[in-house]
């Protein structure tokens, strides 16, 4: 790709979907109307663990307005399992809220009324609510083939950890816990399904349309191209809409009803559908007396709920992410996804990272404190250098960590402010090997009038992907932004994209659209070269035209030249595969943060008065968008650090499934001073040196805050969230010299 003047990339242009959004014209799945559409409701299990003895749907079916009632009896011809779960409970339920039956009716009220007419006989089974109960010796197995309720196990090893501990001067061993939290996207899960002779069409709030397509095709035994996923705007995702959620159930219901069916979850239902894995992390680290890390052993348990869902993937990430971005010669890390009788856990912005990095970055500060070293210096000393491998089979570090930390130290005025008397200031360095799968395909189509339509399967969920992709195309083709149209994913129309997740879209779909635009550019230059009788390399693209000396041919004219009249189109396509970096991860995502606190010692209430976040983005395609992502991520981190947690009673019921009882950050929690530093070394694998961002800002918050508490008040809290009670007790314990 030619190095060229950038007019749009690097500028905070107005969002291309801005007007639609602010005028309320943008359509979300729940806004759509499909002809003949029925409304569905789901009957959910009231028990955390039970056998289904019998379901009587006769009364529900008899209710006027009810068109279909779905149970496991209706899906015997299907291959009903995906992500380790059936599309509707088969013989057993494994969490409170598991779908047992579903009703399609002419309106929501009728569907709701019909639910109460379905009679289910259950035989209750002993339940294991939470990690401790599930791991207890002799605990009832939730899946018979999963001994000790272990769903999956990831083991990472390097060197000889026992030998490493022998060689160490000091050994630190600590345990940390992280709460169960919910994404709280404004839009709960919504889907509409239609099954007819043409195939299966699903309108859904899905971040991974092509993966959902694949699951539905497998379940319903049809070819993937006979499943059409159409994705409108999403009202936030954060991973909650990754992978397949309840779409197969909606399809099965629509199939039985013979009409399209829509189901929109309530917030409560969505909280029972997906959440972040609660975790327990034991971390043992051996060091030399100068602070050099020698060995680390980690043991991680994550609560994946009644079904595997994305638990195995989260465990895989957690086992590596707990290692931090540090050079450690001897490693032994084990992460276990554990079945429990609660709602399923899945992807959530930086999977497996906040839980483990909270542990490792807390312990780094404990080590620094013990050694009397500056925590920044301890980290700097142990950072992976650029290109250095964390462990075998993992691509080396692609960012300059020491330089990033220097920027954090400088922007946070660490040296001055952290030493002030009474200061409660902490920092943390998050780095995650992005899980971004390098498969994206894009297409751009130049219209006869010289305008362009871009086809990219990325889901716009507020992150601004349509704007970023438009900027990349605009610069490659020297087109004004207004000349570019870009829509949503439609698997029948937009080319294949692995997912919208893992901070991957700018890097991977960005590269695919850049390649597609470049392909189109080559076709244009060929037309220009013939017209001007020069070599393509002698032609410049400027504002929708080709220029060579005095000669000028705008794109419309080029099209007319190609096609001998008005009409035709030029198609450019681009794809990206594993060649982009050879080995994975495609990029490391770097987010470092520092926090300064105010603590009300009477109440234990913690307030973050100043937060500085450093994101090594390689290249900020849209700087304001990056800052927004970073600040949004930090606020989400503030949520799980300070007050968010889903509370389950022993009976398996979620006690706070709503915005009254489940607390999320509000504007009052925004730090008074809130700074983001974007590092742009143009060293990422994406367009113009960009790398993924938007998750990194999340992971450093909790350890930065708890480290600040430790430094300012001498209390080390290893369990989140930092409820006033917990902080107050820690302060009191310290006073008492405990």
CB of 15 to a copy of itself, least distance (A): 17
CB of 509 to a copy of itself, least distance (A): 12
Listed residue (360, 284, 285) closest to 320, CA to CA: 360
- Cα–Cα distance, 110 to 66 (Å, whole number): 7
Do 182 and 21 touch, CB atoms closer than 8 A? no
45 versus 440: smaller Cβ distance to a copy of itself: 440
Do 314 and 597 touch, CB atoms closer than 8 A? no
565 versus 651: smaller Cβ distance to a copy of itself: 565
- Cα–Cα distance, 316 to 391 (Å, whole number): 14
148 versus 451: smaller Cβ distance to a copy of itself: 451
Query: Angle at which helices 623-642 and 701-713 pack, to 10 degrees?
Result: 60
- Cα–Cα distance, 292 to 480 (Å, whole number): 53
- Cα–Cα distance, 352 to 479 (Å, whole number): 41
Q: Prior bond to 696 cis, omega within 30?
A: no
Among all chains, which residue has been given the structure tokens 């990029």? 587
The three-state secondary structure class of 726 is: helix
Which residues lie closer than 8 Å to 583 by C-beta, 6 or more apart?
393, 394, 395
Q: 170-178 and 81-82: which strand pairing?
A: unpaired
CB of 496 to a copy of itself, least distance (A): 4
Element housing 199 (H / E) = strand 199-204
21 versus 420: smaller Cβ distance to a copy of itself: 21
Residue 144 CB burial class (10 angstroms; 0-12, 13-18, ≥19): exposed
- Cα–Cα distance, 306 to 310 (Å, whole number): 12
Structural tokens at position 62: 């008899």
Positions in the binding site for a copy of itself (CB under 8 A): 20, 25, 27, 33-37, 197-198, 210, 214, 223-225, 437-441, 443, 445, 447-449, 451, 453, 485, 492-493, 495-496, 498, 562-571, 573, 575, 577-578
569 versus 661: smaller Cβ distance to a copy of itself: 569
108 versus 624: smaller Cβ distance to a copy of itself: 108
Q: Prior bond to 510 cis, omega within 30?
A: no
Dihedral sign from CA coordinates of 314, 438, 569, 17: positive
Q: Categorise residue 176: left if φ over 0, alpha if ψ from -120 to 50, beta otherwise.
A: beta
- Cα–Cα distance, 268 to 111 (Å, whole number): 17
């Amino acid at each position: 790709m030619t190095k060229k003047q950038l007019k749009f990339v690097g500028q905070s242009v107005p969002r291309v979907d801005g007007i639609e959004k602010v005028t309320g014209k943008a359509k979300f799945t729940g806004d759509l109307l499909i002809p003949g559409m029925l409304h569905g409701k789901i009957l959910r299990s009231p028990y955390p663990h039970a056998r289904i003895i019998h379901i009587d749907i006769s009364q529900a079916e008899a209710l006027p307005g009810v068109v279909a009632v779905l149970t496991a009896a209706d899906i015997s011809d299907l291959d009903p399992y995906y992500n380790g779960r059936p599309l509707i409970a088969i013989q057993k339920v494994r969490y409170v809220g598991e779908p047992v039956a579903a009703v399609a009716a002419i309106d929501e009220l009728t569907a709701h009324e019909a639910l109460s007419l379905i009679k289910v006989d259950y035989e209750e089974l002993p339940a294991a609510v939470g990690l401790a109960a599930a791991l207890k010796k002799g605990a009832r197995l939730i899946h018979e083939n999963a001994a000790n309720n272990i769903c999956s196990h990831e083991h990472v090893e390097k060197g000889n950890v026992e030998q490493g501990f022998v060689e160490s001067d000091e050994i630190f061993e600590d345990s940390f816990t992280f709460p169960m939290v919910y994404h709280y996207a404004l839009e709960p899960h919504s889907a509409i399904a239609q099954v007819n002779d043409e195939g299966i069409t699903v309108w859904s709030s899905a971040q991974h349309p092509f993966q959902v397509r694949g699951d539905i095709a497998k379940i319903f035994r049809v070819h993937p191209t006979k499943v059409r996923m159409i994705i409108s705007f999403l009202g936030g995702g954060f991973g909650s809409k990754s992978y397949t959620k309840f779409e197969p159930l909606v399809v099965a219901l629509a199939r039985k009803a013979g009409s399209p069916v829509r189901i929109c979850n309530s917030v409560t239902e969505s909280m029972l559908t997906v959440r972040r894995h609660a975790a327990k992390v034991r971390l043992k680290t051996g060091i030399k007396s100068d602070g050099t890390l020698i060995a680390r052993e980690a043991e991680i348990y994550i609560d994946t709920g009644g079904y595997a869902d994305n638990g195995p993937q989260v465990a895989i990430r957690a086992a590596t992410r707990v290692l931090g971005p540090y050079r450690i010669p001897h490693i032994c890390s084990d992460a276990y996804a554990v079945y429990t009788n609660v709602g399923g856990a899945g992807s959530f912005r930086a999977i497996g990272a906040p839980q483990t990095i909270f542990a490792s970055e807390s312990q780094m500060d404990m080590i620094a404190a013990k050694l009397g070293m500056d925590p920044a210096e301890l980290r700097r000393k142990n950072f992976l250098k650029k290109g250095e491998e964390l462990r075998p089979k993992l691509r080396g570090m692609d960012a300059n960590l020491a330089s990033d930390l220097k920027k954090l130290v400088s922007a946070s005025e660490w040296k001055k402010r952290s030493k002030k008397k009474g200061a409660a200031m902490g920092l943390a360095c998050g780095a995650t090997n992005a899980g971004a799968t390098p498969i994206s395909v894009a297409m751009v189509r130049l219209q006869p009038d010289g305008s362009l339509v871009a086809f990219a399967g990325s889901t716009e969920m507020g992150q601004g992907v349509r704007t970023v992709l438009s900027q990349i195309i605009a610069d490659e083709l020297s087109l004004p932004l207004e000349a570019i149209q870009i829509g949503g994913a439609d698997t029948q129309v937009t080319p294949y994209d692995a997912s919208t997740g893992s901070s991957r879209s700018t890097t991977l779909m960005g590269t695919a659209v850049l390649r597609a635009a470049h392909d189109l550019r080559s076709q244009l230059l060929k037309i220009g070269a013939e017209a001007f009788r020069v070599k393509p390399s002698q032609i410049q693209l400027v504002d929708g035209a080709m220029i060579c000396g005095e000669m000028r041919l705008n794109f419309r004219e080029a099209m007319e030249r190609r096609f001998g009249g008005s009409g035709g189109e030029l198609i450019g396509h681009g794809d990206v595969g594993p060649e982009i970096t050879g080995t994975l991860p495609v990029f490391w995502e770097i987010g470092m943060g520092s926090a300064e606190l105010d603590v009300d010692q009477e109440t234990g209430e913690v307030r973050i008065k100043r937060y500085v976040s450093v994101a090594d983005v390689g290249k900020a395609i849209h700087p304001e968008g990056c800052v927004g992502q970073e600040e949004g991520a930090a606020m989400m981190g503030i949520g799980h650090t300070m007050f968010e947690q889903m509370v389950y009673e022993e009976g398996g019921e979620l006690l706070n499934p709503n915005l009254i009882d489940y607390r999320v950050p509000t504007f009052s929690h925004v730090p008074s001073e809130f700074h983001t530093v974007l590092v742009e070394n143009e060293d990422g694998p994406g367009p113009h040196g960009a790398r993924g961002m938007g998750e990194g800002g999340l992971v450093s918050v909790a350890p930065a805050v708890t480290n600040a508490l430790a430094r300012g008040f001498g209390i080390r809290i290893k369990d989140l969230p930092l409820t006033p009670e917990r902080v107050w007790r820690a302060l009191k314990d310290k006073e008492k010299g405990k």
